[in-house]
Amino acid sequence: MQVPGSIDFKLGLVLAFLVVGMGVVSFFYTPYEYNRMAPSERFIPPGGQHLMGTDNFGRDVFSRIMTGTQYTLFVSLGTVLGSVFIGASLGLIFGYKGGLWDEVLMRLMDTLSSFPGILVALMMVSLMENKPYTLMIALLILFIPSYVRIMRSGILEYKNRDFVKTAGLMGAPHSRIIFVHILPNLKNSLFSTTVLGLSNAILAEATMSYLGLGIQPPIPSWGRMLSESQNFLFNAPWCALAPGTMIMITVVAFHGIGEGIRQW
């Protein structure tokens, strides 16, 4: 059975399309200005006037969710693409060469993996301004080791194959052997891991924002919205349910797509 035709993959694709579509639409339209405060409209429950209700400042929750989609996807996509490019390149090159530099790289990756994510984020915030790209760099550093290991294990599997040795005997340069002869055999696992990495990056971004280490006000962030709404969780539960549900839907969407591609 072709797994990308499974229910999980299709559901993930539909959910991802809705989330990405919401982010794209928010560039051109939101029901209200995301930072518009209306004290007289505080804690209005979800309804026709405000689809997801309003928060403690009278701001429309749905408009903030839409705008927050932009920044969540921007940080997550930038993190994953950057870590894939750097991690895959390092894993391929050093795994192919082997020897001392390969061992040094892997010990460095082990060292990076041993650092708690919160500690790395705190270090980045203390060294740089707390901007979206600061969080992106911190998460990128945390994600690189996994892609290095994936590409390194893949190239170790293929570099002693007959077709690789034949290419070397025919005078093909090392760069061509790595990126033309070996990398195409690893592209499927790399692509599925990249999609799965998006779900992890979204969850990591929401966690950091929840702890106050991510995107800062007045820019809305799902994690920060969740953190700000915990003080009135019982009075206005919709303020927490909206960003929490969006985080869950987005993580499930990309996880389902990535799992479907990986199994296929």
Q: State the pTM of this model.
A: 0.83
Residue 44, C-beta contacts closer than 8 angstroms, at least 6 positions apart: 50, 53, 54, 58
Average pLDDT, the chain: 83
Question: DSSP character for 48?
Answer: S
Confidence of residue 131 (pLDDT cuts 50, 70, 90): low
What does the pLDDT read at residue 99? 79
Scored b (16 or more CB within 10 A) or e, 150-184 reads bbbebbeebbeeeebeebeeeeeeeeebbeebbbe
Euclidean distance between CA atoms 70 and 19, whole angstroms: 10
Ranking 81-95, 120-134, 155-169, 219-233 by mean pLDDT, the lowest is: 120-134
Q: Which two tokens stand for residue 79?
A: 């993190």
Say if CB 8 and CB 256 are below 8 A apart: yes
Give the three-state DSSP class for 263. Answer: helix
Mean pLDDT of 91-109: 85
Residue 84, C-beta contacts closer than 8 angstroms, at least 6 positions apart: 147, 190, 194, 197
What does the pLDDT read at residue 4? 55
Residue labelled with tokens 């479907």: 260
Domains (range + CATH), the chain: 3-27+48-263 (1.10.3720.10)
- pLDDT tens-place string over residues 201-210: 888 888 888 8
pLDDT at 151 over 50: yes
Euclidean distance between CA atoms 244 and 246, whole angstroms: 5
pLDDT at 1 over 50: no
Side-chain half-sphere exposure of 199, counting CA atoms within 13 A: 20
Give Cα separations from 145 to 44, 75, 135, 254, 264 (angstroms): 46, 18, 17, 21, 25
Cross-strand partners of 54 = 60
What does the pLDDT read at residue 129? 66
Question: DSSP character for 177?
Answer: I
What does the pLDDT read at residue 132? 62
Mean pLDDT of 22-35: 87
Choose between 95 and 122: higher pLDDT.
Answer: 95
Say if CB 122 and CB 213 are below 8 A apart: yes
Euclidean distance between CA atoms 78 and 192, whole angstroms: 17
- pLDDT tens-place string over residues 45-90: 888 788 888 888 888 889 899 988 988 888 888 889 999 999 888 8
Give the three-state DSSP class for 90. Answer: helix
Best mean pLDDT range from 170-184, 197-211, 241-255: 241-255
Mean pLDDT of 124-142: 75
